[in-house]
């Protein structure tokens, strides 16, 4: 397996995770700012989760900057990162 293929797979997994996270957000009903109050905790947890996913994605790309050849150790390290 090439390094680019493993990177593309991992990027796809992270993109799916971010997509699933955004599905939990619901559009509030109403036209005032008061209707945003009940969804604020969910939105803030989404923002924090997105930041953490960004950190994982960045670490993943830093990992592959030093990888010259994909072997079993790299595959397991990648799977642990995705877990």
d(CA 56, CA 83): 11
Which stretch of DSSP H or E encloses residue 58?
A: helix 40-66
Summarize pLDDT for 3-26 with one digit per residue, the tens: 888 889 999 999 999 999 988 888
pTM, entire model: 0.76
Q: Locate tokens 């642990």: which residue? A: 80
Angle at 4 between CA 49 and CA 55, to 5 degrees: 20
Let me know: does 78 contact 14? Beta carbons within 8 Å: no
Model pLDDT, residue 59: 87
How far is the first Cα of the chain from the last one, in angstroms, to the nearest whole number? 20
């Amino acid at each position: 397996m090439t390094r680019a293929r493993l990177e593309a797979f991992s990027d796809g997994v992270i993109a799916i995770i971010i997509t699933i996270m955004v599905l939990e957000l619901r559009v509030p009903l109403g036209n005032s700012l008061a209707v945003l109050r009940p969804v604020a905790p969910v939105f803030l947890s989404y923002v924090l989760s997105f930041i953490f996913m960004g950190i994982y994605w960045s670490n993943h790309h830093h990992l592959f900057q030093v990888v010259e050849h994909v072997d079993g150790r790299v595959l397991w390290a990648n799977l642990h990162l995705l877990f």
